[in-house]
């Protein structure tokens, strides 16, 4: 949906692909043309390079935009696209390969003078190697998958007794998620912030930076709420991080939109974490404060045009926040809640932007990531943006499935978030806090609502049963009578 909108504004025909379960998805309707590429499981559709390229040839397209996930960071797909005589809207395959394996990327960054978190010297091939590296680094440590991202194949280890189980679990998860069980170790920083820099590389091999995004509101290493600017940065530190981010991108001859992710310590020292060689899910907050279209920039650079912006022309104004709406139930340990969307109400008003992938009547599939929408806002200052996002989430309603929108509003109201004094562990800390018991009047209302709901349900059942039995007339509930009464 995001890419199709920009293509339409640029006068470029868009062609979508979809799996069987996505046949009535909004992105299918938004595109000028759409082709089916396989069954619901991603391995039978969206991850099939041959199917995507076959559609591209059939539709006679010039270029392929990979989106945010699936094959968006797959260098082999870039090769296949180019071998088919098509343009890949993204970085060169070589840059993707050099940054795609985290152990290799860390070594490249060290050589480029980019600070990195202390870690093992490359992959750890056994539990014994992992234990030796952990003792050298000092606990706590992270065991991390060398390939992929998104928190998959990652475990934190607080002491030696926990290492064996964490090592096996990380390797297994990495193998299942990325087809590569290779892991390495990093020193775990205490209460860091996760701050990423949006960069954009031009055809001349020189990058610019477009500001940072604060992504520390996370659950199980998955981002939930993002904002820009980061309240922990002053202009001097921001500029330094931007310069280092560009140095990192230029070290691999990067072209197009990308993100350099850093961990920011309490002492304001920052360390390279990884590079996302694609457009990030949370890119709207950067667009809102910079007043630019990153997708348009991707397309222009991919077709050989010069970078549409200069570093000195980037002006950031105001504050933006984004919340990810997931089809999941926070009350049931965030279990995914796929199902039929009966109705959908999205927020409007000044400074509100919604990127949504579902619509009323759509069946949210069980095969894919449960994120269904992103609600983003812009305001003159952070507090106004926080209140505006809370208001926008209040107006967001998805009937038929459970979402995390109420949970997102609770996070926005956390004192730590309201003050901007939070870190990557703040969400988990909030979840671990004991819940306040419901007030008696609230409990009474809940009980009364449950009784009324049960009464209505039983009434419907009784009416249906009487209709099937041939009884006519309206069913009336029986009434109590006093003993001996008339």
Question: At which residue do the structure tokens 């591209």 appear?
Answer: 56
Assigned CATH class of 193-432: alpha beta
232 Cβ neighbours under 8 A, 6+ residues apart:
193, 195, 214, 264, 268, 420
C-beta of residue 382 within 8 angstroms of C-beta of residue 311:
no
Second CATH level (architecture) for the domain 2-96: 3-Layer(aba) Sandwich (3.40)
Known catalytic residue at 278: yes
Question: Of residues 278, 382, 386, 388, which has the active-site annotation?
Answer: 278
Coil, strand, or helix at residue 155? strand
At 321, phi and psi to the nearest 5? -135, 150
Q: CA–CA distance from 334 to each of 150, 220, 340, 409 (Å)?
A: 16, 11, 18, 15
Residues in the chain: 486
Q: Report d(CA 20, CA 41) in Å as an integer.
A: 9
Instruction: Walk along the chain (486 residues) and give the pLDDT tens digit of each residue.
Output: 999 999 999 999 999 999 999 999 999 999 999 999 999 999 999 999 999 999 999 999 999 999 988 999 999 999 999 999 999 999 999 999 999 888 889 899 999 999 998 899 889 999 999 999 999 999 999 999 988 666 788 999 999 999 999 999 999 999 988 889 999 999 988 899 999 999 999 998 899 999 999 999 999 889 999 999 999 999 999 999 999 999 999 999 999 999 999 999 998 999 999 999 999 999 999 999 999 999 999 999 999 999 999 999 999 999 999 999 999 999 999 999 999 999 999 999 999 999 999 999 999 999 999 999 999 999 999 999 999 999 999 999 999 999 999 999 999 999 999 999 999 999 999 998 877 676 788 888 888 888 888 888 788 777 777 765 444 444 444 444 444 444
167 Cβ neighbours under 8 A, 6+ residues apart:
124, 127, 130, 143, 155, 183
Residue 312 pLDDT: 95
Q: Are strands 193-201 and 352-356 parallel, antiparallel or unpaired?
A: unpaired
pTM over 0.75: yes
Q: Which residues pair with 143 in a beta bridge?
A: 155, 185
User: CB count, 10 Å around CB of 442?
Assistant: 10
At 28, phi and psi to the nearest 5? -70, -40
236 Cβ neighbours under 8 A, 6+ residues apart:
none
Q: Report d(CA 151, CA 428) in Å as an integer.
A: 14
What does CATH list as the number for 118-187? 3.30.1490.20
User: Which tokens sit at 207?
Assistant: 């990058």
User: Which tokens sit at 175?
Assistant: 């193998």
Residue 406 pLDDT: 96
Alpha-carbon dihedral 292, 296, 299, 302, rounded to 10 degrees: -10
Residue 462 pLDDT: 77
Coil, strand, or helix at residue 372? strand
Q: Report d(CA 316, CA 238) in Å as an integer.
A: 12
Q: Report d(CA 246, CA 91) in Å as an integer.
A: 14
Residue 268 pLDDT: 93
- Domain coordinates in residue numbering, the chain: 2-96, 118-187, 193-432, 439-468
Q: Report d(CA 393, CA 409) in Å as an integer.
A: 7
C-beta of residue 289 within 8 angstroms of C-beta of residue 50:
no
């Amino acid at each position: 949906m995001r890419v199709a909108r920009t293509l339409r504004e640029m006068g470029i025909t868009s062609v979508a692909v979809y799996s069987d379960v996505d046949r009535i998805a909004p992105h299918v309707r938004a595109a000028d043309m759409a082709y089916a590429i396989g069954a619901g499981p991603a391995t039978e559709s969206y991850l099939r390079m041959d199917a995507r390229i076959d559609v591209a040839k059939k539709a006679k397209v010039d270029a392929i935009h990979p989106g945010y996930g699936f094959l968006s960071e797959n260098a082999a797909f870039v090769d296949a696209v180019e071998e088919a005589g098509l343009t890949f809207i993204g970085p060169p395959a070589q840059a993707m390969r050099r940054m795609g394996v985290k152990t290799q990327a860390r070594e490249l960054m060290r050589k480029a003078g980019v600070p990195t978190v202390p870690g093992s010297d490359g992959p750890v091939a056994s539990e014994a190697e992992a234990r030796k590296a952990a003792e050298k680094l000092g606990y706590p440590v992270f065991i991390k998958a060398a390939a992929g991202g998104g928190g998959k194949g990652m475990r934190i280890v607080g002491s030696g007794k926990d290492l064996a189980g964490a090592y096996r679990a990380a390797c297994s998860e990495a193998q299942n998620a990325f087809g590569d069980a290779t892991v390495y170790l990093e020193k775990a920083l205490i209460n860091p912030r996760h701050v990423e820099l949006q960069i954009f590389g031009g055809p001349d091999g020189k990058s610019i930076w477009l500001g940072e995004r604060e992504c520390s509101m996370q659950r199980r290493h998955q981002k939930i709420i993002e904002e820009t600017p980061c309240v922990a940065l002053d202009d001097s530190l921001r500029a330094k991080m931007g310069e280092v981010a560009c140095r990192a991108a230029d070290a691999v001859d990067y072209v197009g939109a990308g993100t350099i992710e850093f961990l920011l310590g309490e002492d304001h020292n920052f360390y390279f974490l990884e590079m996302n060689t694609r457009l990030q899910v949370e890119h709207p907050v950067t667009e809102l404060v910079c007043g630019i279209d990153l997708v348009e920039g991707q397309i222009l650079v991919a077709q050989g045009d010069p970078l549409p912006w200069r570093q000195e022309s980037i002006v950031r104004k105001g504050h933006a926040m984004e919340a990810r709406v997931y089809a999941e139930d926070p009350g049931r340990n965030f279990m995914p809640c796929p199902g039929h969307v009966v109705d959908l109400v999205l927020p409007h008003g000044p400074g509100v932007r919604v990127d949504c992938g579902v619509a009323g009547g759509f069946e949210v599939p069980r095969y894919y990531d449960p994120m269904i929408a992103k609600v983003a806002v812009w305001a003159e200052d952070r507090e106004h943006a926080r209140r505006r996002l809370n208001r926008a989430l209040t107006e967001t309603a998805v009937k038929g499935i459970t979402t995390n929108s109420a949970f997102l509003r609770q996070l926005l109201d956390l004192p730590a978030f309201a003050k901007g004094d939070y870190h990557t562990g703040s969400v988990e800390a909030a979840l671990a806090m004991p819940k306040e018991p419901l007030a008696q009047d609230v409990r009474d209302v809940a009980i009364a609502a449950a009784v009324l709901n049960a009464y209505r349900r039983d009434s419907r059942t009784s009416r249906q049963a009487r209709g099937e039995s041939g009884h006519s007339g309206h069913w009336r509930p029986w009434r109590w009578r006093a003993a001996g009464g008339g």
